[in-house]
Amino acid sequence: MRRFRAPMLLVAAAAALLPACSAGSPSALHPQGPAAQRIDGLWWFMFWIALGVFAVVIGMLLFGLFRRRKGGESVARGGGEKAVVLLGIVAPAIILTTLFIVSMRDLNAISAPAKSNALTLNVIGHDWWWEVRYPQQHVVTANEIHIPTGKPVLLHLSTADVIHSFWVPQLSEKTDMIPGKTNRMLIQADHPGIYRGQCAEFCGLEHARMSFLVIAESPSQFQSWVTTQSQPPAPPAGSAAQGRRVFLHSTCVSCHAIQGTKASATDGPDLTHFGSRRTIAANTLPNTPGNLSAWIEDPQGIKPGALMPPAVVEPRQLQALVTYLEGLK
């Protein structure tokens, strides 16, 4: 049985990788922006070189085996030494130097400084969600980053607690968010679309559910999004107004902010335009009233370890609260 284990593992690994390579997945091999295109190009360059090396090694192995089977000396002495020098020293030196030069060239290209008029965002990693601030536009959101297409966007990446890593495989390289330091990175999307991002540095229990969406829109759509997001939401009416009272008299206000109300805490995501977001709890659930009720009642049941405590509210109050939050467009 043991001798079959390695090939079986390889087949299983290949089967697991196949869905990840299908179109539309957040794969670095489906680049949608200039930096990701460079990374993709470098990946394929390395892949073909590695494949060439693999083919030569396997070819020589088979050649050796074949010659041995036929009987006779396995390696001719004089030729053998030359082959060792050529294939064991000269060829690896050339290949590794080439890879080093090409990697440095690409690293340099994607680290180019941003133009001074680039849109600048602050993205702050938290256990386990993403705070997103547009300082010039006075917009604060969470777990969703809207950007205009075709323009480089400068990100200032920092953390509120431990080390996280910002990664949108289809748009950018990974950049760590390190306590006490702000890292800079450019992202750019060439086409409108929704690109999934993921924390790429193990940061605790819910690292896997620390995900986000980059929503790339045409510049005019982006501008209208900014206009809406920079205003307080419309005042609630009916059941939503009751929901607002529930919100303001509950423990929600100790962590969350909603513009236009007295809630201004910053420990949890800003909820000013919560109803306009696609997901809840850092891309853990689609943002629907049912999912939101479940989340408010029992965050730990959905995302064990999440820092949000369960809210103690009666069913009718919960319903009003959900109506209010979902109405914050």
CA distance 78 to 82: 7
**Could you say which residues in the range 158-187 bind ligand CUA, by CB under 6 A?**
164
CA distance 43 to 37: 10
Q: Given the complex with ligand CUA, which of 165 and 259 has the nearer CB atom? A: 165
**CB of residue 302 vs ligand CUA: minimum separation in angstroms?**
17
**CB of residue 176 vs ligand CUA: minimum separation in angstroms?**
10
**CB of residue 161 vs ligand CUA: minimum separation in angstroms?**
9
Q: Which of 147, 153, 186, 210 binds ligand CUA (CB under 6 A)?
A: 210
**CB of residue 290 vs ligand CUA: minimum separation in angstroms?**
27
3-state secondary structure the chain: CHHHHHHHHHHHHHHHHHHHCCCCCCCCCCCCCHHHHHHHHHHHHHHHHHHHHHHHHHHHHHHHHHHHHCCCCCCCHHHHHHHHHHHHHHHHHHHHHHHHHHHHHHHHHHCCCCCCCCEEEEEEEECCEEEEEECCCCEEEECEEEEECCCCEEEEEEECCCCEEEECCCCCCCEEECCCCCEEEEECCCCCEEEEEEECCCCCCCHHHCEEEEEEECHHHHHHHHHHHCCCCCCCCCHHHHHHHHHHCCHHHHCCECCCCCCECCCCCCCCCHHHCCEECCCCEECCHHHHHHHHHCHHHHCCCCCCCCCCCCHHHHHHHHHHHHCCC
- Binding part of the chain for ligand CUA, among 25-33, 199-207, 248-256, 267-275 by CB under 6 A, reads 199-207
Q: Given the complex with ligand CUA, which of 206 and 217 has the nearer CB atom? A: 206
Question: Are the C-beta atoms of residues 279 and 269 closer than 8 Å to each other?
Answer: no
**Could you say which residues in the range 32-71 bind ligand CUA, by CB under 6 A?**
none
Packing angle of the helix pair 315-326, 289-297 (nearest 10 deg) = 130
Q: Does 243 bind ligand CUA (CB under 6 A)?
A: no
Q: Which of 203, 240, 263, 281 binds ligand CUA (CB under 6 A)?
A: 203
Total binding residues for ligand CUA by CB under 6 A?
Answer: 9
**CB of residue 202 vs ligand CUA: minimum separation in angstroms?**
6
Q: Given the complex with ligand CUA, which of 87 and 178 has the nearer CB atom? A: 178
Q: Which of 26, 33, 125, 169 binds ligand CUA (CB under 6 A)?
A: 125
**CB of residue 304 vs ligand CUA: minimum separation in angstroms?**
15
Q: Which of 40, 131, 144, 201 binds ligand CUA (CB under 6 A)?
A: 201
**CB of residue 152 vs ligand CUA: minimum separation in angstroms?**
25
Q: Does 199 bind ligand CUA (CB under 6 A)?
A: yes
Q: Which of 207, 209, 244, 303 binds ligand CUA (CB under 6 A)?
A: 207
**CB of residue 19 vs ligand CUA: minimum separation in angstroms?**
22
Q: Which of 56, 76, 202, 288 binds ligand CUA (CB under 6 A)?
A: 202
| Binding-site ranges for ligand CUA (CB under 6 A) | 125, 128, 164, 199, 201-203, 207, 210
